[in-house]
Amino acid sequence: MKRAVYAGSFDPVTNGHLWMIREAVELFDELIVAVGVNPDKHCTFSVDERIDMLNAVTRGFDKLRVDMFENQFLVNYAQSVGANYIIRGIRTASDYEYERAMRYVNSDLFPDITTLFLLPPREYAEVSSTMVKGLVGPRGWETVIRQYVPEPVSRKLLQMYSTDV
């Protein structure tokens, strides 16, 4: 069985993340989308909220499950769930440099786990969770973010930040 892990903080889930998920789920027998918990990183949404948003936007993918991991390297988590592959997105040159180095570290730890890089289309290349959160606040933000996040995430952001809701 070909099993892959696609991990991130997903704080919040973006259309770029969803593109990665759609592509990866077609390549494998099972895709595990894993929320990584980094205690040093301040997140806007709780782990449960991020898992709920991921479950909402991935309904209908029968070869996919959402999970979480904390206090371990991604490659160790992948090994613990029997994954043969780690999926990583490359949006920028700095992403590539970082992910290339991590691929070699992962290979040193578990040579049987392959890291695959996916390059999103241009419309998602600059979309990040940090960018989305940075758009919240100025007049009209509610409309602007809709082009960068799936509908359930947009609703969650509106619920959390809108003064009119």
Cβ of 144: how many Cβ atoms within 10 Å? Answer: 13
For 24-82, what is each residue's pLDDT tens digit? 999 999 999 999 998 888 899 999 999 999 999 999 999 999 999 999 999 999 999 99
* Helix, coil or strand: residue 11: coil
CATH topology assigned to domain 3-126 = Rossmann fold (3.40.50)
Q: Which residue has the tokens 């980094």?
A: 38
What percent of the chain clears pLDDT 90, i.e. is strictly above it? 90
Which sequence spans correspond to the domains of the chain? 3-126
| Cα–Cα distance, 43 to 84 (Å, whole number) | 29
| Cα–Cα distance, 76 to 87 (Å, whole number) | 14
What is the Cα Rg of the chain in Å? 16
* Model pTM score: 0.93
Distances (CA, A) of 132 to 10, 62, 94, 97, 146: 11, 28, 19, 23, 10
In this predicted structure, the answer to whether residue 163 has a pLDDT above a threshold of 80 is: no
Contacts of 24 (CB under 8 A, 6+ apart): 4, 6, 31, 87, 118
Q: Which residue has the tokens 């990866």?
A: 24
**107 torsion bin: left (phi>0), alpha (psi -120 to 50), beta (else):** alpha
In this predicted structure, the answer to whether residue 3 has a pLDDT above a threshold of 60 is: yes
pLDDT at 165: 45
